[in-house]
A and B are shown apart, each in its own frame.
Chain A
Amino acid sequence: MARLELSNVSKSYGAFDAITDVSLAIEDGEFAVFVGPSGCGKSTLLRLIAGLDPISDGAIRIGPDDVTRRPAGTRSVAMVFQSYALYPHMSVYDNIAFPLQMERRSKGDIRQQVEKAAGTVQLSTRLKDKPSKLSGGQRQRVAIARAIVRKPKIFLMDEPLSNLDAALRIEMRTELTQLHKELGATMVYVTHDQLEAMTMADRIVVLNGGRVEQVGRPMDLYHKPVNRFVAGFIGSPPMNMLRGKVKAIESEYYSFEAAGIGTIVIDGLAKRLKIGEEVVLGIRPEFLAPHPAGSEPLVKIGVVPRSVERLGAQTIVHSVIEGQNFTCVFAGDQVVEPGRALNVYCDAANIHVFDAAGITVSRN
């Protein structure tokens, strides 16, 4: 196991900058998740760490070693691919044994290590089968066994669960988290699914347009997003965004005029906004309640539900305010009817304020 450090890493394909000046450190034994929308550069960054593509600028260190110019096979990293990338002509045993065979280990040692790795992923009875005889979940386990058998310093996983069905994905998510605990390994995991990121990560790296938007623990990203992009990306359903303007500033109270809602007063914001400045107000759907409750000051918002989704434990209410989608998440048994107006309430302390550039206005 080892620490992974990226220093000013950039990758360009001609005039296109896929990764721009990324610097971050992933600690020994940490489970880091790279998350972001399609094309944000998360898989590219993983490939740069693996050595599958050369970097254009910067440096990569694994433990004490600068591996920037080292070929893929000598970096002591193992990767689990989205497609599993199992060798279809080899048995499960040979697939798992392949990296050890490349190290020219003895047959006895290889057998011992393969059986141990297969046992870890519960595949001991399928060692003679070809990958084509296995289910998607079992193939994924073979890929994981092939990665762990090498005892690499860093595990890289490129959307490893995206080809599995929903139920199996949840099961494998738990198993991977468990495996991480057992191995105590440094893992870098790429996904576009923020739910996977939130449930599995020690720390999340949010990427957008080849740049790191924010690095932090899951609940820090949820509660304290540094900008509008992170706020909108982390959380499901996504945060409601309402356009507004600074109407008045009195002492530490800011008064905003929000489109379609009216005046909202928020206190405790950093004093860097000016009267008349355009802002976006962000409210998480799960912080909206159908009844006034909790501490003051409460913000009241009138909505007309367009559709209602009943998920059992939750009821999701979709509406539109001034052309913007506005979603509320209530308890599962909440009575809501489409077309019938209702007021929803939110604690002003739970409203995020973003300036015109999309940067979060922090609270004192």
Chain B
Amino acid sequence: MGFRYEFRLSGSGGQGLILAGKILAEAAAIYDDKNATQSQSYGPEARGGSSRSEVIVSDEEIDYPKAVNINLLLCFTQEACDKYYKDIQENGILLVDSNYVTNVPEGEFKVYSLPITEIAEKEAGKTLVANIVALGIITELTGIVSKEAVESAILSRVPKGTEELNLKAFNAGFDRAKTLK
């Protein structure tokens, strides 16, 4: 079977994880010309409650659209981290926002713990764009989608008037991740 890469972005409702997933999928499927799906699981609440967004990137048709053997797990809450870290595959990546996740699990995966929300506030001036900062980090850490593709996808998906803010947040995350390698 062909190449298949699974992302799970997890946290709570309102943190922009579904949008981040859609941007990632659009970058891969439209601008990088691979196949990608994004799906989600969330509760009946508009905010709060657990939220999870999954992106599959592949070079062939994607049948099953859910993540089962995660290559990269992003966690914005301790609860999500505790629940999902066991699904990371060997040599996969766990990325956590250290502002929310303090108890980081250990396993056969690489751990990156970064103050994502704090970076959003300091570098872009708004905690709101923490999801986009995380996208920047993910883009650089995984190399699955190109930087240009994600930037194009951000411009097509974020609300009008917030393009600059979001690109700034994306680059802040991307540059921070460079220092980790």
Do A and B make up one complex?
A: no
Interface residues of A (CB under 8 A from B): none
